[in-house]
Amino acid sequence: MFKKKLILSVIVIVCLSSTLSALTLKESIVEAINTNPIVQERLKNYRLTQQDLNIAESEYYPKLDLSASVGYNDAGNLKTQADKDWSHNVNDQEYGNYETQLKFTQNLFDGFGTTHKVDYQEARILAAAYNYIEKSNDIAFKMTNAYLNVLRSYELLQTARENVQINEDIFSKVKDLFDAGLTPESEVKKIESALSLSRSNLTVQKNNTRDTEFNFRRILGRMPEVATMIKPEMNTPMPESLERAALYSINHNPSLLVSQYNIKGAQSLWKQHQKEFYPTVDLEVSQTYNDVEQRNAFDNPDDRFKARIVMNYNIFKGGADKAAVQKDISKINQEIEIKRDLKRQVIEGLDLSWSAYTMIGLQLKDLKEYSQFSEKTLELYKEEYDLGRRSLLDLLSAQNDVINSRSQIITAEYERLFAKYRILDAMGLLPLAVVGDTKDFTARVNLYSQDNASEILDTVPVMFDVDKDNIADNEDLCDNSLLEDNIMPYGCKKMSRDSDGDGVKDVKDMCPLTPKNAKVSPDGCALDSDFDGVKDYEDECLETPIGDEVDIKGCTIEVLDSDGDGFADSVDECPNSPVGYEIDATGCTKSITIRVNFPKKSSEVHENLKLKIDAFAQYLQDNPDFNAKITGHSSRTAVSKNVYNLKLSKARAKAFKQELVNRGISPDRLISTGRGFNEPIADNSTQEGRIINRRIEIQLTRKGE
């Protein structure tokens, strides 16, 4: 049985709440579709294809051309028919002239070329529209994958951190046993090697986590803030069978719809090129007005009006027209084969997703049983190891099973969730299932809308700071950053990571391996509310009386100790010692020490101590033979100043003394003093040690001693 002291401690917890706006998967997908360059490029392509239709339809309308010229003429030398040479001279005649013509042309027949050209452009527009939908779905799918991968990697990172923490705890226990001569050095080396491996695995997982963040930025244009991300719940019902899902997919998958309209476009182009086998017939109406400065033998005024039907018909072109038509036939066949291959790809993707969805569901059942068994095994092995019934190798093996089961469950759960999204993506339903309403997207390309088709015209100049953060796009590493005040010169938000997910940023976190859901102090270290040596996140008995002997779960080990002084009644010569007294080797009263922890750089006695201070004041009132010496202490860092810390420790002692005086204790019975950082009781190189050192110790002595 170990001798224990009554410890009265407090750690002031400052809860720093932030109003971070949650970034859901739905919001991520909507934003990615609205801003991702791949999707936006397809939208611009749709708009330019719309103009190709306008160009084609313009051939239904007449052309009206106006030409005008003005100039100077020099008749020069002439030759006669008799001489057929330039041997004689004629007087040059110089004069000015101008010519104006207005010509109206209306095509009457072109072998149906314009009709089929319009059909071709309409098919291209529909193909471009579904290509936009295809890229939107693809970005939604990639965004979903990136979002889930970030969350999964951080959960795996937390598991890797817990593994390091467990190994450090085991190492501490083994080291204590070795120092006491109770275990061989080989045990120490074994746990040291296991600890090194766990740290290596943690580094690997950190790198994997960074990779997922970079992929997230590739899709959304900025780095993820994991604290704002929420694991999605996939409640959309799955198809009743793989075959039903496949049949729906081959009729609604956007990639197949794009291919379908590419085929129609190729068919229209084939018909369009057959116009070359027909004549063209045009109506031409023109009015010409020519005039010269003076009448002459060479040019005369010409004010003719013409109205005529003009036919042009190519008789021979070397077989070019026939070859062009044959080429179009091959193009139709090519597009059909492309669609057939796409159909196979869609079915394959659906098969793989469906198989993953069903098989991982079965796997999870076994993994959860594996996790339960391994957790129980580790718990039992810890107890048996403490009793000397298990080797360190057994303990490490059981621990590896626990960590492995946790990692596999995390991976399997995310893979099954992603498989559901893959099924919906193959069916062309992913954005609809996540967003709920995709009319805003489809209306941009005039699909699934009752309204008339509309045109949105792009403009110039083009903006080269698309996210308006005052960083030009060619220098912006995060070209979709939010409008915030903490944008760095390279265009990204200054990252404040919380790698262990405990609510304390890494730059302030003195315990970076804290489990995610653990309650922590402002410096990021896990709490031990009942001061039994078992952290709250592992403690199944959070209100264990101070001084009780506890097991690995933090629960009291039942040992008869009537006065609670740490000595079993069977060996206690003074079984009625007041609770909390410091006792000698026989269990009899010597003095009492009460320890109060303080926040960093503070002498404030926290409100949470009220009941315990009341109890101590009552004890002093009930035992007037005792005086109390109150001694304040502080922690030490590399930059701590002796004078400042001595003053701080005295202020802490004085503050606690005043609390007792306020409760009716005579100040004559109380002495306060300070020791600065000169009497540490824990290692100042660790955060937990510094917290313990920021304390007050109260020594009770009988009057006259």
Which pLDDT tens digit goes with each residue over 88-142? Answer: 555 556 777 888 999 999 999 999 999 999 999 999 999 999 999 999 999 999 9
CA 410 to chain centre: 17
- How far apart are alpha carbons 349 and 338 in whole angstroms? 16
- Taking only Cα atoms into account, the Rg of the chain, rounded to an integer number of angstroms, comes to 43
Name the CA dihedral angle for 224, 225, 231, 235, rounded to a multiple of 10 degrees: -60
13 pLDDT more than 60: no
User: pTM of this prediction?
Assistant: 0.68
- How far apart are alpha carbons 608 and 12 in whole angstroms? 8
The per-residue pLDDT for 531 is 64
Q: Which two tokens stand for residue 260?
A: 């379908």
432-446, 485-499, 653-667: least confidently modelled range:
485-499
Average pLDDT of the segment spanning 204-228: 93
- Report CA torsion sign: 42, 45, 50, 52: negative
Name the CA dihedral angle for 364, 369, 374, 376, rounded to a multiple of 10 degrees: 140
58-67, 262-271, 511-520, 530-539: least confidently modelled range:
530-539
How large a percentage of the chain has pLDDT more than 90? Answer: 42
Q: In what order do the strands lie in the sheet with 94-109?
A: 63-74, 94-109, 280-292, 305-312
Position 543 confidence tier, pLDDT thresholds 50, 70, 90: low
Residue 436 sits at the vertex; the CA angle it makes with 431 and 441, to the nearest 5 degrees, is 55
Sole residue written with tokens 């002997």 = 549
Enumerate the β-bridge partners of residue 630.
Answer: 672, 698
Classify residue 83 by its DSSP letter. Answer: T
Nearest to 619 by CA among 600, 598, 594: 594
Average pLDDT of the segment spanning 445-471: 81
The per-residue pLDDT for 7 is 29
At a CB cut-off of 8 Å and minimum separation 6, what does 71 contact? 96, 97, 98
Alpha helix segments (H runs only) across 180-253: 185-220, 242-252
Nearest to 120 by CA among 267, 275, 265, 327: 265
The per-residue pLDDT for 448 is 84
Higher pLDDT, 648 or 691: 648
28-32, 57-61, 581-585: least confidently modelled range:
581-585
Q: Which two tokens stand for residue 88?
A: 């004689």
Nearest to 655 by CA among 617, 615, 696, 627: 696
The per-residue pLDDT for 236 is 85
Nearest to 131 by CA among 264, 256, 268, 28: 256
Nearest to 516 by CA among 530, 531, 504: 504
Q: Which two tokens stand for residue 683?
A: 């290692």
- How far apart are alpha carbons 208 and 197 in whole angstroms? 17
Q: Which two tokens stand for residue 501?
A: 């997910």
- How far apart are alpha carbons 349 and 576 in whole angstroms? 76
- What Å distances lie between residue 527 and 279, 301, 519, 687, CA to CA? 92, 107, 6, 12
3-state DSSP helix/strand/coil % of the chain, to nearest 5: 50, 10, 40
SS3 of residue 244 by DSSP: helix
pLDDT in tens, 295-312: 655 667 778 899 999 999
- What Å distances lie between residue 193 and 197, 332, 393, 396, 456, CA to CA? 6, 66, 12, 11, 65
Exposure on the CB side of residue 608, measured as CA atoms within 13 A: 11
At a CB cut-off of 8 Å and minimum separation 6, what does 224 contact? 23, 147, 150, 213, 216, 217
- How far apart are alpha carbons 441 and 449 in whole angstroms? 11
Could you report how far apart the first and last alpha carbons of the chain are, in Å? 29
Whether the Cβ atoms of residue 324 and residue 393 lie closer than 8 Å to each other: no
CA 172 to chain centre: 36
